[in-house]
Structure 1
Amino acid sequence: MKIIVISDTHMPKKAKKLPARLVEDLQNTDLIIHAGDWQTMDVYEELAQYAKVEGVTGNVDDLEIQQRFGEKLILPIGNYKIGVFHGHGQKLTTEKRALAAFKEDVVDCIIFGHSHIPVLKKVNDILLFNPGSATDKRRQANFSYGLLRIGKTLAAEHIFYADKHH
């Protein structure tokens, strides 16, 4: 199963449309996971044209998104449980907040966003995965989103690109 993982699209503020590189991958994905800060429901509507969309609300999302999506989600996919959480809050680092959100749960992978910083590492046997931002790289060298492949194993990778318009 191929899953596209995105976060912090901040549309339409940071981009008027989804980056071409992302759209290319969306053509043949089984599922899309958005880790919050969509900004408006239009992003959901656009993504939903490609595949089923799951996600959580972030700290800049409008009321419509807050009503549609929770702050935390656990998706059972194959033999794995994928936790999704935006990562905003008052204390700790974004990464620690993501881990803390699932401390009572059994998850194999935690997808989070908020920092716009790509992360891919294991902590206590849990794969921590922040796709970065497809539209707002801030101080990062590139824009990015994530690719999660789930079959007998669970594998994650980042797709980096320099230009969100081509």
Structure 2
Amino acid sequence: MKIGVIADTHLKRPDAFLRRAVEEHFDGADLILHAGDICTLEVLEAFGRRPFKAVAGNRDDRTVKARLPQRLLIEAEGLRIGLIHGWGAPWGIVGRLQGAFEGADAVVFGHTHRVLNEMENGVLYFNPGSFKGGWIAGGVRSLGILEAGDGIRGRIIRLESR
């Protein structure tokens, strides 16, 4: 199962770069996960008819926060994937997320704008980084792919602004 992962879009509406990235990198994805800081529900239109799950982040407007949960537990290929935005400073975030989803095989999050793709105590902690980029992300824009089946693996994709 191919799962597209994106976080921290920080857009008011889908732009051409987001639409192109979704078409190029999430083609054939069985599911898309958005780990918050979407900003407005209109941004989710970039996914078209593709199935997606999303959570609210700290920078999302009232309509996003009213419609989307703060956390979700998703079953995929017999695996349990926790989806959350995250909170607090970038350092120590994995420690804060431990135990957020009992029995999870993976925890997908955003917030820090920093990529992370690491196993810890049998759990994959996966942050695709920031689609928007910015100084916190070192100017790098990114998203990710999870492959679920016989276990779960993540891959970070750095985006080239065109």
How high is the TM-score relative to the length of structure 2? 0.88
CA distance in 2, matches of 1:74, 1:41: 21
What is the match of residue 111 of structure 2?
114
Among 136, 139, 142, the residue aligned to 2:140: 142
1:63 CA drift (Å): 1.4
Unaligned regions of 5+ residues in structure 2, if any? none
Partner of 1:162: 160
Q: Deviations over 1:10-52 (max 9, x none)?
A: 0038x734163343123321110000000000111222x1411
Q: Is the 8 A contact 2:55 2:84 kept in 1?
A: yes
C-alpha change, 1:91 and 1:152, in structure 2 (3 Å) is closer
Deviates more, 1:90-99 or 1:49-58: 90-99
* 5+ long unaligned stretches in structure 1: none
Q: Distance in 2 between matches of 1:35 and 1:57?
A: 7
How many residues are treated as equivalent by the alignment? 160
- Over aligned residues, Cα RMSD in angstroms? 2.2
Name the structure 2 match of 1:10.
10
In the TM superposition, 1:1-166 aligns within 5 A as: 1-12=1-12, 16-17=15-16, 18=18, 20-47=20-47, 49-89=48-88, 93-102=92-101, 105-138=102-135, 139-140=137-138, 142-163=140-161, 166=162
Secondary structure at 1:101 match in 2: coil
Letter in 2 for 1:124: N
The answer to whether the 8 A contact 2:124-2:152 is kept is: no
* Cα distance in structure 2, aligned partners of 1:27 and 1:161: 15
Query: Percent identity between the aligned chains?
Result: 32
Contact 1:2 1:147 in 2 (8 A): yes
Give the TM-score normalised by structure 1: 0.86
Tell me the CA shift for residue 106 of structure 1: 0.8
Is the partner of 2:38 in helix, strand or coil? coil
